[in-house]
Structure 1
């Protein structure tokens, strides 16, 4: 029987892994001429910490029945997940070069029938939390100890199906379910603006007191800086300590920056997706290397 244990990678190593992941994201999308940038980059630190410090998984045995589950509900950020899965050892990093190719295991949205380590196919926004709640409920009914994690985007939580699950999960006392909201505050499109840009690109849910809303529905809530390793790890530790005891699901509201980590992608809706030029790729490589030399804690 497989022994499932989480890793204990130091914060400095997490930082190096995050820089490597960010390089893979921008470089892979540029090479494939398709893909998203802003959302994967805002989620990178959260994913790196999850896979290298928290999840009880075995990359050599992706279908181990007792493994923790993770669902990337904002499936358009697939390249971010693929990059972390490659770094964690589910498949070679070189395979990232096949991203979004017709015969690749790494399609533009996660496909659980193709990609090792993908626990649910996603892409149609709003569905991942319901699937995760189903997995968590099944674990309860079967007496299994695995934990289910779901990541959604802030734009995604405009979907009504998300709130149906937010309402129902506490009724089933799913303390083996954790939702991470990547609250990067920007979306590709938005509401019509009175002046200037055609749209107000700020995410409407970014202007809502989400902690109060989730608490009102019976969730345990944590609000963190989604680029601060100490804050991320402390939140994950809290979830682990409450595993099977809290009596209710937990939401981690992670305040992030869209396109974080690279100057020309950071904080702009224009890099929701996009193809970096050769000059931009060189700039990204230089900036990520400079962060490494400075020992920067993103």
Structure 2
């Protein structure tokens, strides 16, 4: 079995800040990409890849590795940043993001990118693929854990709920869903007076933990930006693997665009391209680097 590389919990926040800067700089370099979702998910991704997952960047196809699926595939640059920092490919390769001949396309492609276990991008499909992997592991006697990250807006997809119903029936206690509950989406589903749409995530208006428990899932509700809470939740999900027959859902309460003053808490940075001045401010806020810039228009 592949051993974990358990980086100290107090290091994870610093790694996540570097990952956020990679996101902003890469999107600026390529001229396109998503920012809000990758930055809300960064602490969760870093804790997975630097503390929890049993993986080996030198052997990305090892059959004993844990699996991870980024169901909200438009947040690919967040995953690529973490994969690069973890050693799956050089960090310099991030500059090729979204180029025609790049291994790092706008959505994850398992045939191109080392460390990507499932191609995603059409929202709602990742949990179904993950349940298939988890079921295959059960049937074949393989000892790996499958983790799937979903966006909260993605929970509007019916295919997600079909899997939520089915996974407990098949006893998939080796499946964990991580819900990046940042509370905002690019477009909403309801007309509102103040804007074209109500962009708040509709699952935020219901008791989501109670609903998931009602369907037979174990539920953990955490601060998705607190490394200790994240690591503890991952360890608890892992401890349930192989016993109880109930999959685990981790509801991670996050802020869209977290980490930078002009991106966090707003749907307008779901995607976008930062200017040089905005990048300069981000470097100061994320890494504490000095700058001669005194004023930035977000």
User: What's the TM-score, normalizing by structure 1?
Assistant: 0.95
Of residues 43, 52, 55, the one that matches 2:50 is 52
Q: Which residue of 2 aligns with 1:129?
A: 127
Q: Which residue of 2 aligns with 1:180?
A: 178
Q: Which residue of 2 aligns with 1:250?
A: 248
Number of residue pairs the alignment of both structures matches: 290
Moved more, 114-123 or 185-194: 185-194
Moved over 6 A (4+): none
Question: Is 1:35 aligned with 2:33?
Answer: yes
CA–CA separation in structure 1 for the residues paired with 2:244 and 2:185: 33
SS of 1:234's equivalent in the other structure is: helix
- Taking the TM superposition and a 5 Å limit, the aligned residue runs for 1:162-181 are 162-181=160-179
- Taking the TM superposition and a 5 Å limit, the aligned residue runs for 1:70-85 are 70-85=68-83
How far does the alpha carbon of each residue in 1:197-217 deviate from its partner, in whole angstroms, 9 at most, with x for none?
111111111111111111010
SS of 1:152's equivalent in the other structure is: strand
Q: Is the 8 A contact 2:18 2:287 kept in 1?
A: no
The alpha-carbon deviation at position 246 of structure 1 amounts to 2.8
The alpha-carbon deviation at position 11 of structure 1 amounts to 2.1
Q: Which residue of 1 aligns with 2:154?
A: 156
The alpha-carbon deviation at position 128 of structure 1 amounts to 0.4
The alpha-carbon deviation at position 195 of structure 1 amounts to 1.5
SS of 1:200's equivalent in the other structure is: coil
Question: Is 1:210 aligned with 2:189?
Answer: no
Q: Which residue of 2 aligns with 1:197?
A: 195
CA–CA separation in structure 2 for the residues paired with 1:114 and 1:13: 30
Q: Which residue of 1 aligns with 2:101?
A: 103
RMSD: 1.2
Question: Is 1:267 aligned with 2:265?
Answer: yes
Q: Which residue of 2 aligns with 1:9?
A: 7
How far does the alpha carbon of each residue in 1:34-79 deviate from its partner, in whole angstroms, 9 at most, with x for none?
1100000000000000111100011000000010000000000000
The alpha-carbon distance between structure 1 residues 27 and 168, as it changes in their structure 2 partners (threshold 3 A), is same
Q: Is the 8 A contact 2:219 2:251 kept in 1?
A: yes
Q: Is the 8 A contact 2:35 2:271 kept in 1?
A: yes
CA–CA separation in structure 2 for the residues paired with 1:100 and 1:246: 42
Question: Is 1:222 aligned with 2:214?
Answer: no
CA–CA separation in structure 2 for the residues paired with 1:51 and 1:234: 15
The alpha-carbon deviation at position 12 of structure 1 amounts to 2.4
CA–CA separation in structure 2 for the residues paired with 1:45 and 1:140: 29
CA–CA separation in structure 2 for the residues paired with 1:289 and 1:222: 31
The alpha-carbon distance between structure 1 residues 194 and 122, as it changes in their structure 2 partners (threshold 3 A), is closer
CA–CA separation in structure 2 for the residues paired with 1:97 and 1:36: 15
SS of 1:189's equivalent in the other structure is: coil
Unaligned runs of 5+ in 1: 292-298
CA–CA separation in structure 1 for the residues paired with 2:181 and 2:143: 29
SS of 1:182's equivalent in the other structure is: strand
CA–CA separation in structure 1 for the residues paired with 2:25 and 2:112: 22
Q: Which residue of 2 aligns with 1:91?
A: 89
Q: Which residue of 2 aligns with 1:238?
A: 236
How far does the alpha carbon of each residue in 1:211-238 deviate from its partner, in whole angstroms, 9 at most, with x for none?
1111010000000000011110110110
